[in-house]
A and B are shown apart, each in its own frame.
Chain A
Amino acid sequence: MARQWGMVIDLDRCTGCEACVVACHAENNIATVGEDQAARGRAMHWIRVERYWEGNFPEVRVTYRPVLCQQCGDAPCESVCPTYASYHNPEGLNAQIYNRCIGTRYCGNACPYNVRFFNFFNPVWDKPLNLQLNPDVSVRSVGIMEKCTFCIQRIKVAEFRAQAEKRPLKDEEFNPACVQSCPPTAMVFGDLDNPQSEVSRLARSNRATRLLEEVGTAPNVIYLRSVS
């Protein structure tokens, strides 16, 4: 059954706590690069919380926007990759196949959201942190790109389980790590093509917007924000 995985993020609920960032790092074996490298702009966070100030001191209002791969329907990163490392899978995900990547970094340039990350060095985990790596997610090596996968390992497990139990996959049977860990439940994940799902109901909200939609990427991450 064809699905279109998508996510809704309610910016009016987001508190900017960055629990999603931590959860993502733990789930997806994302290396921390250290202070020096982070200062040089090489930090890898598949999801980041962008913080914006509106107004002048002391009347300042802080708003947050979690930005992850927008899993574009028409993704600039996919067409430019010469080796199909970045490709569109049948469920509408921008999949990244690490073994195919030769590190041209063209996808990273073409991505308007800057949500693709390059392994400038081989990742290292100080002992005993190496023991907490998630066995379901491959550890990436030096010289290749990586990015948010919508926790494809969880999608696959849920699909296989439903298949084994000979039943359709239920809406919200599972969630990516960021959605699962969001304290104010600002994030909702599911099948956008299923009109009954929570995510498609929210996507039809009149608060729905998409980030940089004018670039023509047809993102599958929808932001809810009340227009004041």
Chain B
Amino acid sequence: MPAHSPEQLNEDVLRPLVHTTWRFYLTAGILGSIVLAALAAFIYQVYSGLGVSGLDRPVFWGFYITNFVFWIGISHAGTLISAILRLTNAPWRRPVTRCAEAITVFALVIGGMFPIIHLGRPYLFFWLFPYPSERGIWPNFHSPLLWDAFAISTYLTGSSIFLFLPTIPDFALLRDKASGWRRKLYRALSLGWTGTPRQWHRLEMAMRIMAVVILPVAVSVHTIVSWDFAMAPVPMWHSTVFGPYFVAGAIFSGIAALIIAMAFLRKAFHLEQYLTPFHFDKLGKLLLLMSLVWAYFIIAERLTVWYGNESPEMAVYWSTQQGRFTHLFWFMVFCNLVIPFAILSIKHFRFSIAGPVIASTTVVIGMWIERFLIIVPPLERKYLPYSWGTYHPTWVEITITAGTFAAMALLYMIFSKLVPIISVWEMKLGWQQEAEASRPVASEAQLPHMIPGADLPAPGN
């Protein structure tokens, strides 16, 4: 990486916070109207009943639960990837972690809404939580849905802290630079940060603890999401492979989402100097690896079902291999394996920004289809052929689905206007460490340190 000056970094990264172009407002307006349309569709659904969706008996879960699993999967972009990169102290993580961690929080907020959107009586969702109520009963701790409620609220809390902690020094920097309402906002958010050695030490400890704690939480969250399906005696749901299969799929789609977000940020905020082809190459390699892992899982799942040849499972199996879902199934394989493999296994394409972005786009589409194919075909072909059914989504479900994609983009855009999307102090710290490492006595660079402490200039100087 070329040498940078801290002043240039401040200028480049903080500029988007104060300078907003007409393109931003136009995009926000378009996205906002899609979100409003989705909100209207949801209100219409609550008013009329879930009958306005395409759900029926026996397909009681459709687009909404697909979106739920999809967004919870996307949320693994941030925290998990960022925690791994922090723990392994990968130096190239520095410009990447903030935008990854933000994806996590927003994707979780959006994903967490779907179990409520899909309820028959959404206004009673809080009955899932254990609190001393006038009804005098606890929720059922045997239910995977309850595990979900706990897992997702834990993960949301953890990843919000994980996003917030390393932002504190940047908030302090902004507080010192900003004026007006921004100054007030950042003063509150910086929690009295002055950059004393004591504060740096505490921040370092807190981030180390969070990075270790968030990993098992992230793995358990998507395992529990998979258990919503794997615990039920439904053909091709009731499978032990689902836990790791879902976690791998989540990381896979998470990396793809991160690559897309980074490419947009790079273009929109002119961060070419910081989010370089080098980063896209690294993440592209990770994406390729996860694509192969994903392929391994789908082969492991399907081969054992086919070889075992149990009739209820085979009914589902054939509906995706030689039935109405065949085209969708092979399109998914094309998106998740063929395209990423073709593009990302070639170094030249990996280093171009377009290559990883195209592969990531197909992966995001493919992983959405994957969740749909996990959820719907087994419900359509559940045991007794007399009560088999079909599922066709309606405009209500499609609008709400589109609305959440728009909401994700909108939340991310607003976030990028309030918080530096690249962690300023971590970048500066990285350069400082590089400078130290290039000195003749380089032993200090071997130390597993993240923040040296007092020797760092206080933010804002």
Contact = CB atoms under 8 A, between A and B. Distances in A.
Interface string B108-148: 00000001001111001101100000010101101111100
Contact of B57 (A108, A121, A122): A108
A117 B55 CA distance: 12
Contacts of B58: 41, 108-109, 114
A190 interface: no
Contact of B232 (A37, A43, A76, A121): A76
Contacts of A143: 49-50, 119-121
Interface stretch (B182-190, B260-268, B377-385): B377-385
A52 B389 CA distance: 17
Interface of A: 37, 40-43, 48, 50-52, 67, 76, 79-84, 100-106, 108-110, 112-114, 116-122, 142-145, 211-212, 215-217
B57 A118 contact: yes
Given A80-B144, A82-B146, A113-B383, A106 B125 contact: no
A178 to B, nearest CB: 18
Interface of B: 48-51, 55-61, 115, 118-121, 124-125, 127-128, 135, 137, 139-140, 142-146, 149, 228, 231-234, 379, 382-384, 386-387, 389-390
A114 B60 CA distance: 10
A103 B120 contact: yes
B139 A83 contact: yes
A110 to B, nearest CB: 4
B49 A81 contact: no
A103 B121 contact: yes
B228 to A, nearest CB: 8
A215 B120 CA distance: 28
A142 B384 contact: no
Interface of B (DSSP majority class): loop
A88 to B, nearest CB: 11
B240 to A, nearest CB: 16
Contact of A80 (B51, B61, B232): B232
A156 B57 CA distance: 30
A102 B50 contact: no
B389 A41 contact: yes
A41 B390 contact: yes
A80 to B, nearest CB: 5
Given A79-B143, A108-B58, A114-B384, A102 B233 contact: no
Given A79-B231, A109-B60, A142-B51, 18 more contacts: A41-B58, A43-B57, A67-B384, A79-B142, A82-B146, A83-B127, A103-B121, A104-B118, A104-B120, A105-B60, A105-B120, A106-B232, A109-B61, A114-B384, A118-B120, A119-B49, A143-B119, A144-B120
